[in-house]
Structure 1
């Protein structure tokens, strides 16, 4: 089975992504607003086929009331470094109220060349659909996170998705070898 890479080609998403990827000043209001908007749009693209919406109809005497709802048991957990990426998900609950954010802290143990993952054991992850976000997918830490989630928490890879603005082809090949059924949503694939 081949890795499922979804390149989001919507013109608005591409335009915002390019502004963020190639922008030099990270401290201005426009940049922050672009990150918030892009985060909401990419999250929408990722969740639109994953979250089910149920319709209901109430027949009144003189009219028909129509509405919809999501299953309260379907919850999403976004795992990311919130210190670096908080702007992308400040508006997330406007899309889906049952979405939760979890900061993940990763540090490298230099003596064993191993990544230590903190803050992830506080959730019963079997109840959640997992979204892992990294702005630029260019290091092996993402593989360490997926390894940790699939072995230590027994999460099925089908309940995980990765979102990134850009990803390196080399990292995609490594993920594809180990987790070919994983879904990755990105705006651009970069050659090494």
Structure 2
């Protein structure tokens, strides 16, 4: 398996993961931890892809330097929002050219319906598949669709999650070894 796996092991993430897996937590506390772990996973992914442009604005008395996102680059999060809402809720406020597309990928027809409705994915898009748990092989349907139908190159597709199943990662790695996965824990 040549899959590029980035295990995010920030001390705050490790503490929250430990509590999630060893203690009984209420649903509210679980959502709270998922929110922050998800945000940190997304933060880690975007560090590698976000293009910041420096603008110099002339003022009457001097100039001002402003850093902004390159608006020609599109960032797309594909996720089942009913599962990951707590993880993705904060990121859209920060990134202006980010589109979140609710996607269920049980079969190709469902994928096609969700993605074609938005008409947002172009060759100039970076695609981030965000899940709480990558535990089944259905994610391969989505990657197949993006690669074969939308002609998205694999260097522009990344998977981010809190938990990954090692068997699923092995299968993804066999089919798409150049794909990148950002996770906090492999089970």
2:121 aligns to what?
Answer: 125
The offset of 1:2, in angstroms, is: 2.3
TM-score norm. by structure 1 comes to: 0.84
Return the offset for 1:187.
Answer: 0.5
Matched residue of 1:180: which SS?
coil
Q: Larger deviation: 84-93 or 13-22?
A: 13-22
Q: Is the 8 A contact 1:115 1:144 kept in 2?
A: no
| Closer, same or farther: CA 101–176 of 1 in aligned 2, 3 Å | same
Is 1:80–1:134's contact at 8 Å kept on the other side of the alignment? yes
The C-alpha deviation readout for 1:116-168, integer Å capped at 9, x for no partner, is 53412222411421100121111101112111211122211111100011112
Q: CA deviation at 1:56?
A: 2.9
Please give the secondary structure, in 1, of the residue aligned with 2:152: coil
* Matching residue of 2:5: 5
Hey, what does 2:69 align to over in structure 1? 70
Structure 1 residues 21 and 94, CA gap change in structure 2 (3 angstroms): farther
SS at match of 2:164: strand
- Contact 1:44–1:95, Cα closer than 8 Å, also in 2: no
CA shift at 1:57, angstroms? Answer: 3.3
Aligned to 2:103: 104
String of CA shifts for 1:65-97, please: whole Å, max 9, x gaps: 222011112121111111111111110123312
- Answer yes or no: is 1:157 the counterpart of 2:160: no
Q: Distance in 2 between matches of 1:10 and 1:81?
A: 25
Closer, same or farther in 2 for the Cα pair 1:23/1:74, shift >3 Å?
farther
In the comparison of the two structures, how many residue pairs are matched?
184
Residue 174 of structure 2 is aligned to residue 148 of structure 1: no
TM-score by length of 2: 0.86
Which gives a bigger RCO, structure 1 or 2 (Cα 8 Å, sep 6+)?
2
Compare the two structures and name the one with the higher helix fraction: 2
Hey, what's the Cα distance between the residues in 2 that align with 1:85 and 1:98? 20
| Unaligned stretches of 5+ residues in structure 1 | 109-113
Look up the match of 1:111. Answer: none
Instruction: Give the distance between the partners of 1:185 and 1:142, measured in 2 at CA.
Output: 14
- Residue 53 of structure 1 deviates from its aligned partner by 0.9
